[in-house]
Amino acid sequence: MTSEPSMTPSPQTAPSSPATEAEAVAVPRRPARSGTRTAVAAGVGTAIEWYDYGLYTVAAGLVISKVFFSGQSAQVALLATFAAFAVGFVARPVGGIVLGAASDRFGRRPVLIFSLILVGSSTTIVGLLPSSAAIGIWAPLLLLLMRVTQGFGAGAEMAGAIIIANESATPGRKSYLSSLAMAGATFGVLTASVLFAVTSAVFSAEDFLSFGWRIPFLLSAVFTGIGLVLRRSMLESPEFEEVQHERQRGELAQAHRNPLVAMAKAVKASPRNWVAGFLVPSGLNVTSYITSAFAISYISGALRLPGSYALLMSCAVFGSGFLALLVFGRLGDTIGVRRVMFIGIAGALLLAVPYVAILKAGAIVPIIIASVALNAFGWAGVAAAHTVLMPALFRAEYRSSGLFSSRELQGALIAGPTPLLAAFLVGQLGGEPWIVAGILAAAQLMTLAGIFLGRPLFSAEELAETPALKGYAATPTAVGGAR
């Protein structure tokens, strides 16, 4: 594998000059408040973008099957709905690979702006699409196209927000500030759930299915405009700026134009770290979609409970998840993110079987309590802590290519198909949901394997000044930081 030739003379041949000496000065550290501002801007932008992406998650079991797949049996329509859900995740690694290379070449900030435009516009268009009763097969086809566009943009969003927040965070608040990217996403999905609950309460069931459900989707245009203002005011990551300085001085090769070559570089640099980057998000992603998309469809479909119950559960799950993320983010700066991840994995494994037993019993209050508990203890801990671990698996010059591709391929192959797989298996087993406990446990064990497999790149200096890194050892190749 060869890299593109640098346009800057090498350090050995470049003539000495005042300009060259000036360029050699390291990029100064920014005030602590700039890291907080960047993390907040990343989190708020992520909230808006995941409001868009989360709308489909909330609407999947309540509206999409009836509007875009009408005329089919309930089981076929539900499977088609979750197939469209999975399509968005299939598009995400494509976006992750392409936009990851762009992030390593042009910067974290411009890619996050572009991804917001893609997701926001496609979500707004979904709110304008005619139903299958009006235009037939074109309705689900256009829905799939928008899901592909949405997924392509989302392939850069979460991982990109994690990276820029992590790279900009002050050492003493590394865990908390990095976790704001995940907290923003959770708040976005919570907002989508609340608006769906409000609109379903305001309109009759017939009017909600006819046009009321479209209102939250159309509001995406307004929220996207707000997000663009925030993203444009966000500062670039200081670690990426240092990489650019090193490229200008000829100390680093220029970034690859070919996204596949850029991803290959990240994989080749440390295959075990790339595989770890694939495995670590498994538990948190699967748990999240079981307690949201699958549980909502199971409540309204198999249990035949009112849709308002499902929306109430969704609000409770994402609301408690948002608060739990902030708690675990702060806890990570106290006891270390490695221990926080173990707490989350243990919580999910202990709660998997009781959760399914309560789900099967069919009483809505215990279901809501169990979903909140599983999400808060089995998801939030790992979700908060992995925002520190994942970026450290890759050096800054190819970090986006490595993290985007590994994380989003996991989403396409594991997380995205989970609601579809769970719904199919439960249907095949005559409505018995016990297989869901096995899926939850398997995903958590994949995360555990990723934690032990990965070799995060931490320097001795980072370990000394960053409380969140307790329990990790310095990496000889991490001279000067996690690059």
Residue 23 lies inside a defined structural domain of this protein: no
Residues 96, 101: Cα–Cα separation, whole Å: 8
Residues 481, 483: Cα–Cα separation, whole Å: 5
Which tens digits make up the pLDDT trace of 383-408? 999 999 999 999 999 999 999 999 98
- Segment 170-186 shows an average pLDDT of 91
Residues 239, 480: Cα–Cα separation, whole Å: 11
Residue 29 lies inside a defined structural domain of this protein: no
Q: Name which of 1-10, 129-138, 465-474 the model is least confident about.
A: 1-10
* Domain encompassing residue 266: 34-469
Neighbours of 215 (CB within 10 A): 16
pTM here?
A: 0.82
Supply the CATH number for residue 224's domain: 1.20.1250.20
Q: Domain tally for the chain?
A: 1
Interacting residues of 132 by C-beta distance below 8 A, sequence separation 6+: 67, 68, 69, 70, 71, 139, 140
Please, which pLDDT band fits residue 6 given cuts at 50, 70 and 90?
very low
Cα-Cα-Cα-Cα dihedral sign, residues 386, 387, 391, 392: negative
Residue 481 lies inside a defined structural domain of this protein: no
- Segment 412-438 shows an average pLDDT of 81
Are 450 and 326 within 8 A, CB to CB? no
Task: Report the share of the chain in percent with pLDDT over 90.
Answer: 41
pLDDT for position 481:
41
Which stretch, 73-82, 290-299, 465-474, has highest mean pLDDT? 465-474
Please, which pLDDT band fits residue 432 given cuts at 50, 70 and 90?
confident
Residue 230 lies inside a defined structural domain of this protein: yes
Whether residue 12 is predicted with pLDDT greater than 70 in this model: the reply is no
Neighbours of 33 (CB within 10 A): 9
- Segment 292-305 shows an average pLDDT of 78
Residue 459 lies inside a defined structural domain of this protein: yes
Residue 482 lies inside a defined structural domain of this protein: no
Residue 55 lies inside a defined structural domain of this protein: yes
Neighbours of 9 (CB within 10 A): 12
Residue 237 lies inside a defined structural domain of this protein: yes
pLDDT for position 75:
63
Task: Give 417 or 333, the one with higher predicted confidence.
Answer: 333
Are 144 and 68 within 8 A, CB to CB? no
User: What's the angle, vertex CA 135, arms to CA 129 and CA 138, rounded to 5?
Assistant: 75
